[in-house]
Amino acid sequence: MRGERAGAGRRFTGPQRFLLAGSFLITLGSFAVLPYMSVLLHQRLGLGLGTVGFVLAVASLIQFAGGVVAGPVTGRIGLRRAMLLALALRTAGFAAFVPGLTSPVLAVGALLLVSAGAALYLPANKAYLVDGAPEADRPRLLSASSSAFNAGMALGPPAAAPLVMGSPGVLFSCVTALFALVGAGHALLPPGAADRGDTRRAAAPDRVPDAPRTGLSPFVATVLSVYAFMFFQHYLALYAVPRTSAAFYGVVLAGYAALLVVAQPLLAERVAALSYPAALRWGFGAMAAGMAAIGAGGYAGIAVGGALLCLGEIVLFLKNDLEALARSSAAPASVFGRQRLAAGIGAFASGVVGGQLYGAAESAGSARGFWAAVCLQCLLLPVLLLRMRTAREPEGSRADAA
């Protein structure tokens, strides 16, 4: 118990504090621009909506699926250099947007550069953050990282709103300068374990040799977790704004972000202590309850539903990352890259299925049926995952577990 308490009270190191602050600034700068990209491409540069959708889909694919490249790249050049390369790509991309405001070709190329940098940066960032840290510290580090990213995501769009349409050149110049400064700070970071050539420490996470591991796949669980969550992310505005107001929808998003930033670090140790099957039941159960509350409609239902979805996101996303790290002997950057790929697959599947499902519900005259169908899926998905676990486990493992 004393060791656990000491681990829980251990302070962040200087490089870890810098990475957390940098994560906030990077996301602040990115989300000052990226949420408005469809408006800039369509209204300012005159691209058709079909072309805009295709460009954004390709950018998203690069950003998520490109994460699998992070492992080989960091293995060859090291974590710090990988982060510097990623930030150089993103800085160049945002700088290219300034002349790109009058050229669709430059603007699309700039967006793809930014996406490529994001694909490489996030796995390397998380890997450096947990580099050399005991396994007991990982929940605290990853939850703090997620809070920093989410705080930037919440503040970026309102911070950029006064400039995005009236003075986009000024906005992109400011974001470029911000990324250049953060990149310069990364150059001062000490080398990580992989950078020093300590491959054993960098590649092999701390393990408890006699800890029982179920046959659940964190990759598959991440695909399904993001698949379920993105129904909320993609379709809440379509459902909530006509039934309440755009202002209320904005309040819900701001409250969601604030709750996520505050609650995730507070719940990190409890989430880490849950068994994986229990975390799946709690996480998907919270999502199911949230979808049902949203379907009930009204201001209270949508607000309560958002809070429950936030709880589900905290439990599932953090536990999936922790399990992926604990189960793999690969370098952390490779693990986080695969997790990014899983998230991309889940988001893509949710977009394809969700559009058809929401359209069918509206055609039937009841958008609430969409949320009922998603709620049912959230109830069934942990059952499916646990059945897959049972099928994959050998008989001896089942007997030991019993």
Q: Would you say residue 250 has pLDDT above 80? A: no
Q: Would you say residue 66 has pLDDT above 90? A: no
Q: Would you say residue 200 has pLDDT above 70? A: no
Tell me the range of 118-132, 158-172, 197-211, 265-279 where mean pLDDT is highest: 265-279
Taking residues 127-142, report their average pLDDT.
84
Q: Would you say residue 252 has pLDDT above 70? A: yes
Numbers of helices and strands, H then E, in the chain: 17, 0
- How many Å apart are CA 394 and CA 401, to the nearest integer? 11
Residues 155-172, buried b or exposed e (16+ Cβ, 10 A)? bbbebbeebbeeebeebb
Q: Which is nearest to 361 in space by CA: 371, 376, 349, 348?
A: 371
- How many Å apart are CA 354 and CA 129, to the nearest integer? 35
The residue that leads in pLDDT, 116 or 4, is 116
Band of residue 135 on the pLDDT scale cut at 50, 70, 90:
confident
123, 333 contact by CB (below 8 A): yes
Band of residue 109 on the pLDDT scale cut at 50, 70, 90:
very high
Q: In this predicted structure, which of 200-209, 245-254, 367-376 has the lowest mean pLDDT?
A: 200-209
The predicted structure's pLDDT at residue 298 = 85
Q: Would you say residue 144 has pLDDT above 50? A: yes
- How many Å apart are CA 56 and CA 140, to the nearest integer? 33
**What amino acid occupies position 337?**
G
283, 225 contact by CB (below 8 A): yes
Going by C-beta distance under 8 Å and a sequence separation of 6 or more, which residues neighbour residue 231?
Answer: 291, 350, 354, 374
402 by Cβ neighbours in 10 Å (0-12 / 13-18 / 19+) ranks as: exposed
Residues 119-151, buried b or exposed e (16+ Cβ, 10 A)? bbbbbbbbbbbbbebebbbbbbbbbbbbbbbbb
The predicted structure's pLDDT at residue 300 = 93
Taking residues 219-240, report their average pLDDT.
88
Taking residues 206-210, report their average pLDDT.
40
**What is the total residue count of the chain?**
402
Band of residue 5 on the pLDDT scale cut at 50, 70, 90:
very low
Taking residues 291-300, report their average pLDDT.
90
Query: What integer best gives the mean pLDDT of the chain?
Result: 82
Instruction: Please state the φ and ψ torsions of residue 199, each to the nearest 5 degrees.
Output: -65, -30
- How many Å apart are CA 128 and CA 15, to the nearest integer? 9
The residue that leads in pLDDT, 128 or 4, is 128
Please state the pTM of the whole predicted model: 0.76
332, 202 contact by CB (below 8 A): yes
DSSP 298-334: HHHHHHHHHHHHHHHHHHHHHHHHHHHHHH--S-HHH
Band of residue 154 on the pLDDT scale cut at 50, 70, 90:
confident
Percent with pLDDT over 70 in the chain? 88
Q: What is the pLDDT of residues 235-246, one digit of tens each?
A: 888 888 888 887
Residue with tokens 């982060």: 83
The residue that leads in pLDDT, 63 or 373, is 373
Sign of the torsion formed by the C-alpha atoms of 172, 177, 178 and 184:
positive
Token pair for residue 397? Answer: 């493992």
Distances (CA, A) of 171 to 32, 43, 86, 157, 178: 8, 17, 21, 12, 11
Q: What is the pLDDT of residues 333-377, one digit of tens each?
A: 888 888 888 888 888 888 778 888 888 888 888 888 999 999 999
The predicted structure's pLDDT at residue 391 = 53
Q: What torsion, rounded to 10 degrees, do the Cα atoms 168, 169, 171, 177 define?
A: 160
Taking residues 70-88, report their average pLDDT.
88
Q: Which is nearest to 319 in space by CA: 141, 139, 140, 128?
A: 139
Q: In this predicted structure, which of 113-122, 207-216, 356-365 has the lowest mean pLDDT?
A: 207-216
Q: What is the pLDDT of residues 17-43, one digit of tens each?
A: 999 999 899 998 888 888 778 778 887
Taking residues 198-221, report their average pLDDT.
55
